Amino acid sequence: MLDIKLVRNDPEMVKENIRKKFQDEKLVLVDEVVEKDKEYRAAKTRCDELRAKRNTMSKQIGGLMAKGQKEDAEKVKQEVKAIGEELEQLEVRESQLEGEIRERMLVIPNIIDPSVPIGKDDSENVEIEKFGEPFVPDFEVPYHVDIMEKLDGIDLDSARKTSGNGFYYLKGDIARLHSSILSYARDFMIDRGFTYYIPPFMIRSDVVTGVMSFAEMEGMMYKIEGEDLYLIGTSEHSMIGKFIDTILPESALPQTLTSYSPCFRKEVGAHGIEERGVYRIHQFEKQEMIVVCKPEESMQWYDKLWQNSVDFFRSLDIPVRTLECCSGDLADLKVKSCDVEAWSPRQKKYFEVGSCSNLGDAQARRLGIRIKGENGGKYFAHTLNNTVVAPPRMLIAFLENNLNEDGSVRIPKPLRMYMGGKEVIG
């Protein structure tokens, strides 16, 4: 959510940002906010004047009564009553306007960083850099589910019976490999100075609307019927929510956190759920990294976060590339974002395995996350998040890049201690 002062003082800049995101239908919101803000401030000023006048006149009543001037006191009482009635009506209108302004402000997109490429959708995202040499073996690489089924490591049919499409049973060495990747990711981030967390897997609606846009919420979140609780789509939701309505001293920053959680997603939209596969599913597990920092440090942390993901995948000999998200592909709260994509020898192309985002002060402004400076002044923090690893999607890249011709799978050295010393599964 933007600072209302920015919309008030430079509405054309806010509109230009909306145009860059190809959301022209939202241009009218800027004008509506400006007009409603004028009315709100006028109502607030009038309320303050009436309260001051009422207080002054209320004091007069006591003085008049003490002097025996009951008739004059009664007249003043009537004036005070009229002021109270006007004030009550204005306070209702003030509250209505405040809600209407916030409703629109929550939909107006955040100001994107000047470095973000302008484009309509993900087809116009821009490759930044490749890490590692993409490799295609001499033998044919099967579909990832076929690899797992040959290793007796997945049961999709039983999952369809219990839960429907978009769910799976992992078993045996594939299930162990899945857990090993998460354990290695946890220790990888701890070694880089991040504090490990296991957060709540459900959050309240005020946290949901604080960490994401309404469009994202509708397409992602599962609501717990009869309760003000939602299943998280990523641990970033509850980890950023942890700081709701807090004031952090500058000395406590940056907050560098890494968290494990299961993630639950509707996956509503054009992509839908795979009937046979684990790339796009309703339930998965993920290791995340989150940073809360001073505004002037957020871009430095943005670069550190995506580099952590690259280093993690390269430590497992998986080629990756980074892809800059264009303006039209940025979620409304994001200032800047890039995807980390892993190489698929089967498809002979890269596919997304993680996303790094700088959200500026958008989440902090919604959730009331502030920093107290050395001079006592308070300002909003910046928040960032990035995927360390999200199996089973990462399993696809892992299995394809470590597959042997006989169908067995190599275990890179960093994972062996988590796999009981195994060097190969097959």
Q: Give the DSSP letter string of 76-98.
A: HHHHHHHHHHHHHHHHHHHHHHH
Does some domain include residue 110? Answer: no
Does some domain include residue 381? Answer: yes
Residue 373: which region, alpha, beta or left (left: phi > 0; alpha: psi -120 to 50)? beta
Same domain, 56 and 128: no
Q: In this predicted structure, what is the pLDDT of residue 69?
A: 83
Tokens of 14: 């806010």
Count of structural domains within the chain: 2
Given 54, 70, 105, the domain boundary residue is 105
Does some domain include residue 113? Answer: no
Does some domain include residue 115? Answer: no
Same domain, 278 and 337: yes
Q: Which domain holds residue 59?
A: 4-105
> Which of 6-20, 68-82, 276-290 shows the lowest mean pLDDT across its residues?
68-82
Measured CA to CA, the distance from residue 419 to residue 409 in angstroms comes to: 13
Does some domain include residue 419? Answer: yes
Q: Is 265 a catalytic residue?
A: yes
Same domain, 127 and 180: yes
Same domain, 88 and 213: no
The conformation of residue 21, written as its DSSP 8-state character, comes to T
Higher-confidence residue of 62 and 193: namely 193
Catalytic residue among 280, 297, 315, 408: 280
Measured CA to CA, the distance from residue 145 to residue 65 in angstroms comes to: 89
Q: What are phi and psi of 157, to 5 degrees?
A: -65, -45
Using alpha carbons, list the distances in angstroms from residue 313 to 89, 188, 196, 321. Answer: 61, 11, 20, 10
Residue 123 has pLDDT above 70, yes or no: yes
Same domain, 279 and 217: yes
Does some domain include residue 46? Answer: yes
Same domain, 238 and 332: yes
> Which of 117-126, 250-259, 269-278, 352-361 shows the lowest mean pLDDT across its residues?
269-278
Same domain, 149 and 196: yes
Q: Is 393 a catalytic residue?
A: yes
CB atoms within 10 A of CB 358: 24
Catalytic residue among 355, 357, 365, 400: 355
pLDDT band at 268 (very low <50, low <70, confident <90, very high): low
Tokens of 268: 């509503």
Same domain, 285 and 242: yes
For the chain, state the CA radius of gyration: 28
Higher-confidence residue of 406 and 273: namely 406
Q: Which CATH number goes with the domain that contains 144?
A: 3.30.930.10
Among 67, 83, 2, which Cα is nearest to 37's? 2
Catalytic residue among 79, 274, 285, 352: 352
Catalytic residue among 176, 265, 321, 370: 265
Q: In this predicted structure, what is the pLDDT of residue 393?
A: 87
Does some domain include residue 117? Answer: no
Catalytic residue among 54, 366, 370, 393: 393
Q: Is 280 a catalytic residue?
A: yes
